[in-house]
């Protein structure tokens, strides 16, 4: 399973990248706004900076909701760097845009996916990645991990090449469960990635080893 970080914060991207286990970055308009990135020039520049920091796929989301607008924006985003993946919302115009990007060799990430039906459409349109938002599904009282499992089954039976990119991760256990369910990628906040490191017995064990090392 590939690890992406789900942020537009450069310090967090660097910290995750320094671990040596980072395969890419996902952003969205909310995450960009959180970093105070405003205006087309600043947005494109920020994506370029991220591409220079991390050697992996970097998702950059279109803001248009019509086919022509998405294609125009997607072309501009894809021109920033070969690692840019154009992030497209799961709406009717988005499906058309996904197909256009697929036919024109531009990588895509279909976002805001909450059902198996949407996941099938994204795969049919040739999306490179599809992003089920498992945390938001859990928040609504449904089971996000169940969707990952259903998508894995459908994609495997049907031979769809689209990679399942589990998004809206809330905690380390989500990451472990996504790995169990066969997600291809997990995009996570830095805290959830670092949470995987933690175990009290590791800390206790290390303290004892270091104490005993003084007697060596
Ligand atoms: O980047 C898309 C997704 O990961 C958003 O997560 O935490 O806003 O539900 P969240």
pLDDT of residue 145: 98
Mean pLDDT of all residues belonging to the chain: 98
Q: Return the pLDDT at 106.
A: 98
- For residue 48, the surrounding DSSP H or E stretch is helix 40-53
Best residue among 3, 89, 168 to mutate for probing ligand 1's pocket (most ligand atoms within 8 Å of CB) is 168
Element (H, E) at 73: helix 67-78
Q: What is the mean pLDDT of residues 100-129?
A: 98
Residue nearest to atom 3 of ligand 1 (CA): 168
Q: How far apart are CA 174 and CA 55, in angstroms?
A: 25
Beta bridge partners of 129: 109, 163
Is residue 27 lining ligand 1, measured as CB closer than 6 Å? no
Strand pairing class (185-188; 163-166): parallel
Q: What is the pLDDT of residues 23-34, one digit of tens each?
A: 999 999 999 999
Looking at residue 159, its pLDDT comes to 98
Can you give the pLDDT at residue 123?
98
pLDDT confidence of residue 50: 98
Q: What is the pLDDT of residues 35-78, one digit of tens each?
A: 999 999 999 999 999 999 999 999 999 999 999 999 999 999 99
C-beta 192 within 6 A of ligand 1: no
Contact call for residues 109 and 74 (beta carbons, < 8 A) = no
Q: pLDDT at position 140, please?
A: 97
Any ligand 1 atom below 6 A from CB of 133: yes
**Best residue among 59, 136, 174, 189 to mutate for probing ligand 1, ranked by most atoms within 8 Å of CB:** 136
pTM for the model: 0.96
- Is the CB of residue 30 less than 8 Å from the CB of residue 54? no
Residue nearest to atom 9 of ligand 1 (CA): 168
Taking Cα atoms as reference points, which of 99, 3, 69 lies closest to residue 77? 69
Q: Does ligand 1 lie within 6 Å of residue 124's CB atom?
A: no
pLDDT at 61: 98
Residue 21 has a CB neighbour count (10 Å cut-off) of 11
């Amino acid at each position: 399973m590939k690890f992406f970080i789900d942020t537009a914060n450069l310090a967090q991207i660097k910290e995750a990248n320094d671990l040596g286990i980072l395969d890419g970055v996902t952003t969205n308009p909310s995450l960009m706004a959180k970093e105070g990135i405003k205006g087309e020039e600043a947005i494109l520049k920020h994506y370029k900076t991220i591409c220079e920091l991390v050697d992996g796929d970097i998702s950059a989301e279109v803001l248009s909701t019509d086919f022509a607008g998405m294609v125009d924006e997607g072309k501009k985003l894809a021109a920033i760097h070969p690692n840019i993946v154009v992030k497209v919302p799961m709406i009717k115009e988005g499906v058309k845009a996904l197909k256009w990007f697929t036919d024109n060799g531009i990588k895509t990430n279909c976002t805001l996916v909450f059902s198996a039906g949407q996941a099938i459409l994204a795969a049919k349109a040739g999306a490179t990645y599809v992003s089920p938002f498992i945390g938001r599904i859990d928040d609504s009282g449904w089971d996000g991990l169940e969707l990952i499992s259903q998508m894995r089954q459908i994609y495997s039976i049907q031979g769809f090449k689209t990679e399942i990119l589990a998004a809206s991760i809330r905690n380390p256990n989500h990451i472990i469960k996504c790995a169990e369910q066969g997600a291809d990628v997990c995009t996570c906040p830095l805290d959830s990635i670092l949470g995987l490191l933690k175990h009290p017995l590791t800390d206790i064990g290390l303290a004892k080893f270091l104490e005993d090392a003084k007697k060596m």
